[in-house]
Each structure stands twice: as C-alpha cells, then as structure tokens.
C-alpha cells in the first residue's frame, strides 16, 4: 500500500515508517522538522528509513495546502497516517495558538486533501489527554471527554471531532488511535523517561513534579506502532481505539524502575505539580483487542532496559536537547 505519514520524522513516526517499510509498503514522510526539538535529532531518527528505496521524504508543512496537494498528487497515497502535531501539555499553556494551528488547522487540511486525492483511509494520532481528570479508570473510548485540562488536550479532541464530521460528510474512513505516554528509543526529549535517563547518565539530579503519585499508562513504541498498523484494517466509518498498555505506573515507581535498570540511585529534586497535568491515565484496551486483535506486549522493565541501551549510544544532539521551548523564540501570542 502507498502510505503517507505526516510527522514521520518524529519519535513515533520514524518507528512507524520502519515498520511499514519492512511490511512492504511505500512510505511518504511529510514533516516540516519543526523547532519543538532540534532538527538534527529528527534527521537522525530517519537514518534507517532514508536508506530504504521505498521511502520518500518531503519537508513540507501540512498547514500549507499547496505543499499537501503537490505531494499527494505525486505520491498518490491510499492511506494517510496523520501524526504531525505540536505535542506536550505544559508548553500548550504558554503557546495555545501554536497548538491550534499545528493540531486543529493541520488536521482539517490533511482530511480535505485526503478526500480530494481519493485516499481511502485516514488514521489520526489521538491522545489519552482527552479523558481529562475525572474519568473512572480504566478509560474506555465511550467515556466522556468534554473537559480537557490543557490547550493540547482540547486541540487533540478538536482533531477527533473534525475527523468524525469529515467521515460523516464525505464518507472517508477515519480511525483515531489514542496513544498513552509512548516511550522507547528516540523518545521526545521533553518526556519524563528521556529526561530521567539522560540526567542519570550525566550524573545530574532529576526533577519530579508533585509528590510522584501521578501515574501514566506507559506504552512501548513498538507496541504503539503495531497498533497503528493494525488500525489500517479497522472497520470502515469513524472509530476510536485506545492504544495503551492498560497498566499504569506512578512517577515514583517509574523512578525506582529506572534506578533498577541503570543500577544507579537518582538524586531527586521536587517541584510543584505542573498545570495541565492529570493525575492518571489508564487505557481500557478491550475494544482494540476485540476489533483490531491488538494488545501491548512489552512490559515496563523490558521497555526501559531497551531504552537505556539505546540512550547509551544515542546521537550527540539528543543529549544537547534542552527544553522544547525553541517555540518561545516566536513573538508572544495571545
Ligand atoms: N509521544 C507520546 O507519548 C504521545 C502521546 C499521545 C499522543 N501523541 C501524538 O502522537 C503524534 C506523534 O508524537 P511524537 O511523540 O512522535 O512527537 P514528535 O514531536 O516527535 O513528532 C511530531 C512531528 O510532527 C512534525 N510536525 C509538526 N507540525 C508539523 C506541520 N505543520 N507539518 C509537518 N510536520 C509537522 C514535527 O516536525 C515532528 O517531527 C502527535 O500527534 C502527538 O500529539 C504522542
């Protein structure tokens, strides 16, 4: 199949590209190499995919309709997997308009271009953040998601609703895969596991927000991309699936697990809980199991061991990545 992946130079997209290439698909990567974290990291993510003869890289902004039109006209995708977004809860509070553009406007552009170019299926990268903070766990796909706790979560919910509307009006098959804190080699450098492991490797203290009781349903990237691949066979129409491990771990337990894997004690600095963070994410995976035949397979200890092994030899740029706040060089936004 000919598959266009937006945001394919990022963490999840680069793994997905390799998986789909290995399965025999042709892959078009559409990525603007944004400044959320440094472009050299993204190019390093693509090192393996770029060697593949069935992989094409187009550095394009998916908010640019002409760029989308050109690349879809040339590549003629049968399926589009839309991962491009500005991710991250906390920076979305500082720069909401960036998120509205990258996550809402971009989604509508991708949906419209897909219909115009006869694409038969679009998969959207959803997020556990849409469940807000008051859901009874585990969260199933029917749970109300009307009270997002951050602009990021609100834009991800808006993305889903645009997908539902587009599917209804234009008959396009739209599948939302809600990811739950994905980790593994190449993890975005702003996320906790990457921060903790890099700090420990450099013998620096780690920063934990709040008392460490907040818990996340950490999901290994190989499982996440297996779920996205399974979603290429999801039923027609509009459907939503949780792709989470279904086994949440508190930040305190995560730190202990990393200490065990690395054989090192962490010096912990505590800072106040951050605005926008929710206390728990916890996927119900019954629907994905039933309809996609998917479930996570890699446990946290095993996944952390693989991540640490990768981090020990990660590209230099990965270690120089600071805050994902290069966004902040833009002028202040309302
Ligand atoms: N990583 C997680 O734990 C997680 C959890 C839930 C949802 N998600 C979602 O999964 C997707 C991928 O996340 P990731 O962690 O790989 O992030 P990432 O930042 O590593 O990848 C996103 C990619 O999108 C690109 N991009 C951004 N705006 C673009 C635009 N307008 N045009 C073209 N490319 C653009 C960026 O350059 C980047 O390479 C995102 O939609 C994110 O919201 C991720």
Asked, for residue 322, whether it belongs to a domain, the answer is: no
**Looking up tokens 């991309």, which residue turns up?**
225
Residue 87 alpha carbon, nearest atom of ligand 1: 43
- How many alpha carbons lie under 13 Å from residue 228 in its C-beta half-sphere? 31
Q: What mean pLDDT do residues 171-190 have?
A: 97
Residue 138: asked if its preceding bond is cis (omega within 30°), the reply is: yes
Burial of 72 (0-12, 13-18, 19+ CB in 10 A): buried
**Looking up tokens 């609703």, which residue turns up?**
161
Pairing type for strands 215-216 and 249-250 reads antiparallel
Residue 129 sits in a domain whose CATH number is 3.40.50.720
Range of the domain at 135: 2-180+221-243+284-297
Calpha distance 145→262 (Å, rounded): 38
Asked, for residue 60, whether it belongs to a domain, the answer is: yes
Asked, for residue 12, whether it belongs to a domain, the answer is: yes
Cα of 85 vs centre of ligand 1, distance in Å, is: 4
Give the residue, out of 9, 10, 61, with the most ligand 1 atoms within 8 A of its beta carbon, to mutate for a pocket test: 10
Q: Which residues are catalytic?
A: 152
* DSSP codes, 121-177: EEEEEEEGGGG-S-PPSSBPTTS-----SSHHHHHHHHHHHHHHHHHHHH--EEEEE
Residue 128 alpha carbon, nearest atom of ligand 1: 6
In the prediction, which pLDDT does 12 show? 98
Q: pLDDT tens digits, residue range 112-161? A: 999 999 999 999 999 999 999 999 999 999 987 789 999 999 999 999 99
Pairing type for strands 173-179 and 121-127 reads parallel
In degrees rounded to 5, what are phi and psi of residue 257? -65, -40
Asked, for residue 265, whether it belongs to a domain, the answer is: no
Asked, for residue 216, whether it belongs to a domain, the answer is: no
- DSSP 8-state class, residue 272: P
Calpha distance 320→251 (Å, rounded): 24
Q: How many domains does the chain have?
A: 1
45 Cβ partners below 8 Å, 6+ apart? 9, 10, 11, 13, 14, 186
Q: What mean pLDDT do residues 107-113 have?
A: 98
Cα of 295 vs centre of ligand 1, distance in Å, is: 22
Tell me the percentage of the chain whose pLDDT exceeds 90: 89
Calpha distance 248→322 (Å, rounded): 27
Cα of 175 vs centre of ligand 1, distance in Å, is: 17
* Contact residues of ligand 1, CB 6 A cut-off: 6-7, 9-13, 30-34, 36, 42, 61-63, 83-87, 102, 106, 125, 127, 179, 181-182, 188
CB atoms within 10 A of CB 63: 18
Cα of 248 vs centre of ligand 1, distance in Å, is: 22
Q: What is the pTM of this model?
A: 0.96
Q: pLDDT tens digits, residue range 241-268? A: 999 999 999 999 999 999 999 999 999 9
Asked, for residue 29, whether it belongs to a domain, the answer is: yes
Residue 126 alpha carbon, nearest atom of ligand 1: 7
Q: What is the mean pLDDT of the chain?
A: 94
pLDDT of 2 above 80: yes
In degrees rounded to 5, what are phi and psi of residue 296? -70, 145
Calpha distance 1→49 (Å, rounded): 16
Take atom 39 of ligand 1 and give the residue whose Cα is closest.
10
Residue 268, strand partner residues: 206
Asked, for residue 38, whether it belongs to a domain, the answer is: yes
Residue 121, strand partner residues: 79, 173
Residue 61 alpha carbon, nearest atom of ligand 1: 32
**Looking up tokens 């990768």, which residue turns up?**
310
Asked, for residue 190, whether it belongs to a domain, the answer is: no
């Amino acid at each position: 199949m000919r598959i266009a992946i937006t945001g394919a130079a990022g963490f999840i997209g680069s793994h997905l590209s390799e998986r789909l290439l290995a399965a025999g698909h042709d892959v078009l990567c559409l990525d603007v190499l944004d400044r959320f974290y440094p472009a050299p990291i993204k190019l390093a993510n693509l090192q393996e995919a770029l060697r593949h003869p069935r992989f094409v890289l187009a550095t394009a902004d998916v908010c640019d309709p002409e760029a989308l039109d050109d690349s879809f006209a040339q590549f003629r995708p049968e399926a589009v997997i839309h991962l491009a977004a500005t991710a991250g809860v906390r920076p979305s509070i500082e720069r909401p308009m960036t998120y509205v553009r990258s996550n809402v406007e971009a989604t509508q552009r991708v949906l419209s271009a897909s219909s115009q170019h006869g694409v038969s299926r679009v998969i959207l990268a959803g997020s556990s953040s849409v469940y807000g903070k008051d859901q009874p766990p585990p969260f199933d796909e029917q749970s109300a998601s009307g009270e997002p706790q951050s602009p990021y979560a609100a834009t991800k919910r808006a993305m889903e609703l645009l997908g539902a509307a587009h599917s209804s009006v234009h008959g396009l098959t739209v599948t939302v895969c809600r990811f739950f804190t994905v980790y593994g080699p190449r993890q975005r450098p702003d996320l906790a596991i990457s921060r903790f492991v890099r700090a420990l490797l450099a013998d620096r203290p780690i920063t934990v927000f709040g008392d460490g009781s907040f818990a996340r349903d950490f999901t290994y990237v190989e499982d996440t991309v297996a779920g996205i691949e399974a979603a290429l066979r999801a039923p027609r129409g509009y459907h939503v699936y949780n792709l989470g491990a279904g086994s949440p771990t508190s930040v305190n337990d995560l730190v202990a697990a990393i200490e065990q894997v690395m054989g090192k004690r962490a010096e912990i600095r505590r800072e106040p809980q951050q605005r926008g963070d929710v206390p728990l994410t916890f996927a119900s995976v019954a629907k994905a199991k039933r309809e996609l035949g998917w479930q996570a397979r890699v446990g946290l200890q095993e996944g952390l061991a693989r991540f640490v092994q990768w981090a020990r030899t990660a590209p230099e740029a990965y270690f120089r990545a600071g805050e994902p706040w290069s966004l902040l060089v833009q002028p202040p936004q309302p």
